């Protein structure tokens, strides 16, 4: 296969392919990044056209989809018959547009969403979402499984980026809540290390997710275990403690504002899960 894009992720992917005995052609805008990979057995193509011509399977690991157009936009004549497995992160709409663009040039585009840092490449417990034409995915599934376990989400090219962005939304907001908490802790003389056991416990939300999932799917929000108004009081205490610690309260105050919106909409005596409808108002 060919790998185009030798950032930390692409380099890890080339390493995993080489280690599993594959012959890998590589290309990168900054050619010097290929040197150590060539020393490990990869083959450097002289041009992006040559990289595309070398193999049917072309893995892209670029910053985003714009980089793909920058790179391949002038080499579209070499795209015919290629299967582009785009493991660059971007949005569902851009993946759908890329699938159309590739098809116009006689290529197949499979979108991916890699759920691991470069250190997880080559580890079977890591996972990557894929979407796009099933037959092309099945043809290359075994090869792609060298990188991580594969999780095929469906034919709609937007599905892999969609699932990826859904998980990234949770990842970043959770990490920000952790950082904010550490700022409040630090202002009170508590280190990240000292808080670690409590942070891991607080962010282990599995029990709550499992408890509320079916209720949310049924759009049922009984107040048998929590009341939104109780949540308002709880977040107020968090915001207050944040301000008293001299820390920017934007994060808890934003959460408080969402809770208050729910209360104003008359959901005070329902579960906090009823807030889902403040994000998606019904017509």
Interaction of residue 95 with ligand NDP, rule CB under 6 A = no
Whether the Cβ atoms of residue 60 and residue 81 lie closer than 8 Å to each other: no
How many whole angstroms separate alpha carbon 138 and alpha carbon 132? 11
Q: Could you tell me the smallest distance in angstroms from the CB atom of residue 47 to ligand NDP?
A: 13
Nearer to ligand NDP, 164 or 212 (CB): 164
**Smallest Cα–Cα separation from 129: which of 83, 103, 167, 82?**
167
Q: Could you tell me the smallest distance in angstroms from the CB atom of residue 260 to ligand NDP?
A: 35
Q: Could you tell me the smallest distance in angstroms from the CB atom of residue 66 to ligand NDP?
A: 7
Return the SS3 of 13: helix
| Cα torsion angle, 33, 35, 38, 40, sign | negative
Nearer to ligand NDP, 70 or 219 (CB): 70
> Cα(first)–Cα(last) distance of the chain, in Å?
49
Interaction of residue 63 with ligand NDP, rule CB under 6 A = yes
Binding test (CB under 6 A) with ligand NDP, winner from 26, 54, 67, 72: 67
How many whole angstroms separate alpha carbon 126 and alpha carbon 237? 38
130: Cα separation from own chain's centroid: 12
How many whole angstroms separate alpha carbon 126 and alpha carbon 119? 10
Nearer to ligand NDP, 83 or 111 (CB): 111
Q: Could you tell me the smallest distance in angstroms from the CB atom of residue 35 to ligand NDP?
A: 12
For residue 129, list its beta bridge partners: 113, 151
Scan residues 18-47 and list those touching ligand NDP (CB under 6 A).
28-30, 33
Q: Could you tell me the smallest distance in angstroms from the CB atom of residue 59 to ligand NDP?
A: 11
How many whole angstroms separate alpha carbon 156 and alpha carbon 247? 44
Interaction of residue 10 with ligand NDP, rule CB under 6 A = yes
Q: Could you tell me the smallest distance in angstroms from the CB atom of residue 160 to ligand NDP?
A: 12
For residue 114, list its beta bridge partners: 128
Scan residues 140-159 and list those touching ligand NDP (CB under 6 A).
none
Write out the residues near ligand NDP by the rule CB under 6 A: 5-10, 28-30, 33, 61-64, 67, 70-71, 88-89, 114, 117-118
């Amino acid at each position: 296969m060919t790998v185009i894009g030798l950032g930390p992720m692409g380099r890890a992917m080339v390493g995993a392919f080489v280690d599993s005995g594959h012959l890998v052609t590589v290309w990168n805008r900054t050619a010097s990044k290929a040197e150590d990979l060539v020393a490990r057995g990869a083959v450097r193509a002289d041009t992006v056209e040559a990289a595309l011509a070398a193999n049917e399977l072309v893995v892209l690991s670029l910053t985003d989809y714009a980089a793909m157009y920058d790179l391949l936009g002038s080499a579209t004549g070499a795209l015919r018959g290629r299967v582009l497995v785009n493991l660059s992160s971007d949005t569902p709409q851009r993946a759908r547009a890329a699938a159309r663009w590739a098809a116009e040039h006689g290529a197949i585009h499979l979108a991916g969403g890699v759920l691991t840092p470069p250190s997880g490449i080559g580890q079977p417990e890591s996972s990557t979402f894929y979407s796009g034409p099933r037959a092309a995915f099945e043809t290359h599934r075994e090869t792609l499984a060298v990188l991580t376990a594969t999780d095929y989400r469906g034919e709609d090219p937007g599905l892999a980026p969609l699932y990826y962005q859904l998980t990234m939304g949770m990842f970043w907001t959770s990490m920000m809540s952790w950082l904010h908490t550490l700022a409040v802790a630090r202002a009170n003389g508590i280190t990240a290390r000292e808080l670690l056991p409590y942070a891991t416990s607080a962010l282990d939300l599995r029990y709550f997710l499992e408890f509320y999932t079916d209720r949310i799917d049924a759009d049922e929000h009984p107040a048998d275990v929590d009341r939104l108004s109780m949540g308002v009081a709880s977040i107020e205490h968090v915001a207050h403690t944040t301000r008293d610690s001299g820390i920017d309260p934007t994060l808890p105050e934003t959460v408080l504002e969402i809770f208050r919106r729910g209360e104003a909409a008359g959901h005070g005596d329902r579960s906090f899960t009823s807030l889902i409808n403040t994000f998606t108002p019904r017509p």
